[in-house]
Structure 1
Amino acid sequence: MVDAPRLGMLIFLGSETMLFAGFIAAFLVFRLGAPVWPPPFQPRLPVELTGANTGVLLLSGYTMWRALRAARDEKHAGLTRSLAQTALLGATFLGVQGYEWGRLLAFGLTASSGVYGGTFYTLIGAHAVHVVAALAWLALLLIGTRRGGDAAPAHVGVSLLGMYWYFVVALWPLLYTLVYLA
């Protein structure tokens, strides 16, 4: 039996999956319909740096797993440490993405520079917004764990955040493969 908070999160993640499925479908329609992709005179995406950055985000999935285990075992110090590590890795991922975007913008790839730029910034930007939301939630939980308090609500919050974080982490390799490698 799934409790109400987890059921709510599953429904929410289902809707997020549909959102990204729509974005990906639109990307594929444009990508497969284009005679040349990427279009001529557009900057090439930073495949190597983004590949390394993918490893950073995947590692954050492991630190979140450790946080979930620490919450389950009521190990406060381990929970705080693992949440902080997850936050650091997530912020690093986002920082590298921001650096990449700055360089791409400087090279002329904007959301209004055509379908290539528009689909890139829509897909990757939507993911970045989800990472920002997850980091904000993570920061609130981290503040709560540092203050102490009742472990039961914290455990539920960490569990729900874990579900959301895993969604964000699992989605990224698909986006990386489709947008950067295909």
Structure 2
Amino acid sequence: MRVVVAESTTARRLPGVDGLWVFIGADAVIFGILFLSFMQDRLHNPAMFEASRRTLNMNLGGIDTLILLTSSWAVALAIQAIKRDLFDRAPRYLLGGVLTGLMFVGSKSFEYFQKFAHGITPATDAFYMWYFTLTGIHLIHVVAGTGLLAYLWLGARRAAYTSSHRVLPECVASFWHLVDLLWIVLFPLLYLMRAA
């Protein structure tokens, strides 16, 4: 007896375009190198890194995490709405992504201002040099991603994206999910993992 398996007529593909995945891969490698460098510096002075880590506002870092996870969820819902040609839903979900992106920027700015008000700067010690470097580069990604989401939101309000015209939204969503993934690594690395 022979079993015949039907082949799928639609090839599976990564969302977006190939060049985007090269960018995402390169960005992930750069952050990976930065993470490893941070951990190496932490090994050389665990007491100082631990003392500085304890001065971070863990609750605010947790709120930032929830904000970005919510944002990622909203963007995923927007992409699903675009794939299904649900023109009334996609703009709402994208607006949710924009607003939560802005919330993260506001929260991180507040945290920076708190640190500066207490005299804590990148020059304070090696931990804070890494903290401001890693979160600052990430924040630049969030600002860029939020701007891209706002651009998508404007297009979605005009029904510019459809199930057959969704490459740009998929590219932006993939970048946005990278931004969230980077924070999911940054939050425990900076806020939760004890150095000593």
TM-score, normalized by length of structure 1?
Answer: 0.91
| 1:41-75, Cα deviation, whole Å (9 max, x unpaired) | 88700001211221111111111110010010011
The runs of 5 or more residues in structure 2 that have no matched partner are 1-10
Q: Which residue is equivalent to 1:95?
A: 106
CA RMSD of aligned residues (A): 2.1
Q: Distance in 2 between matches of 1:84 and 1:67?
A: 9
- Which amino acid is the alignment partner of residue 58 of structure 2? V
Q: Per-residue displacement from partner, 1:85-128 (whole Å, max 9, x unpaired)?
A: 11111111111111001001111221122212211111111110
The alpha-carbon deviation at position 154 of structure 1 amounts to 5.3
How many corresponding residue pairs? 182
Distance in 2 (alpha carbons) for counterparts of 1:25 and 1:161: 27
Selected match of 1:66 from 77, 102, 113: 77
User: Retained in 1: the 8 A contact 2:71–2:96?
Assistant: yes
Task: Provide the residue aligned with 1:119 in structure 2.
Answer: 130
| Structure 1 segment 155-170 matched on structure 2, within 5 A | 155-170=166-181
Instruction: Calculate the TM-score normalised by the size of structure 2.
Output: 0.85
The corresponding residue for 1:79 is 90
Match of 1:145 in 2: 156
Structure 1 segments (4+ residues) deviating >6 Å: none
Match of 1:56 in 2: 67
- More helix as a share of residues: 1
| CA distance 1:26–1:41, shift in 2 (3 Å) | closer
Segments of structure 1 that go 5 or more residues without pairing to the other structure are none
What is the distance in 1 between the residues matched to 2:61 and 2:165? 33
- Letter of the aligned partner of 1:44 in structure 2? T
- What letter corresponds to residue 24 of structure 2 in structure 1? L
What residue number does 2:6 align with?
none
In structure 1, what residue type is equivalent to 2:45?
Answer: A
Q: Which has the higher relative contact order, 1 or 2, with Cα contacts under 8 A spaced 6 or more apart?
A: 2
1:180 and 2:191 are equivalent in the alignment? yes
**Matching residue of 2:40:** 29
Moved more, 51-60 or 108-117: 108-117
For 1:164, the aligned partner's letter is F
